[in-house]
Structure 1
Amino acid sequence: MIKTILPLVLFALSFNQNTQTAEQYHRDSLEKSGYAALIQINKAIELDPTSLEYRKFRAKNLMERSVQEKDLLLAIDDLIYVAENGEEHFRIYTGIMNCYLKLGNTILSERRPKIKKDEFGDNSAYNAAYKEILQKRVDYLRQAL
């Protein structure tokens, strides 16, 4: 009987300590800003991956500070997790839509300066690349719906 109970008690104690450590990381992230806050909240999510509050905070932080595609996709994943497992569905889905819009704008702004007219002034390559970028943006928006 003791052999059965002891592992359960040890597991419960370690789980409680992980939760307290995650809460401390979350408090630290609230006191910091930018990349330092992101590091702290990532540590909190590693310890407590089911916390909706931590995921909402990370998504908000990523959306406000980042224009990198991988960060915005992580924010979208966090918001989808919150929407599927939490409340405030309309508000969360609005955040997801805004994130997809920002992602489309990011892709557009990254690619547009690289597209130049050829030496004869032919716009066909420019127009084709621009249409491709716009199509990616539309695809991201369709995924959000």
Structure 2
Amino acid sequence: MAHHQDGMTLIEVIASIALLSVVILTFAYVFIQSQQFTTMNGDRQTALQLAQKKLSETLAGPLPEQNTSEVPFNPDVPDSWIRIDYRQEPNSAYRTFTFKKLPDSPESDPGRPLMIMVRTYYDREHHYIELYNYYTTN
């Protein structure tokens, strides 16, 4: 007498579970990468807003002199730039540095506008936003 068996064998069940888990893991990886990318863009956007705010404040007020206070981290900038301000945002990793470019020579035109640079770090010492503008006394 022939025996007919309905349903799936154990090997078919294990193979289908393995295939399903590969598909799920692939989608999970894509979602994780997407979330990390979105978070980094949000941090970058916040850093950009902080840099724009600091640049506007610097250009609106009197230009500060060189700031020689100690900071936990000094950014790598050329020697022709001096730090005039540093701000650590409370409870965050955002660090904003303001620099002014030294004149090319002491005899340079005193009415010439000074270049200002604002650099905001948003991922420890690795990623930053940098903005430039000219400070005029007029």
TM-score range, shorter chain: 0.3 to 0.5
- Larger RCO, structure (CA 8 Å, separation 6 or more): 2
TM-score by length of 2: 0.33
Greater fraction of residues in strand: 2
Greater fraction of residues in helix: 1
TM-score by length of 1: 0.32
Higher radius of gyration, 1 or 2: 2
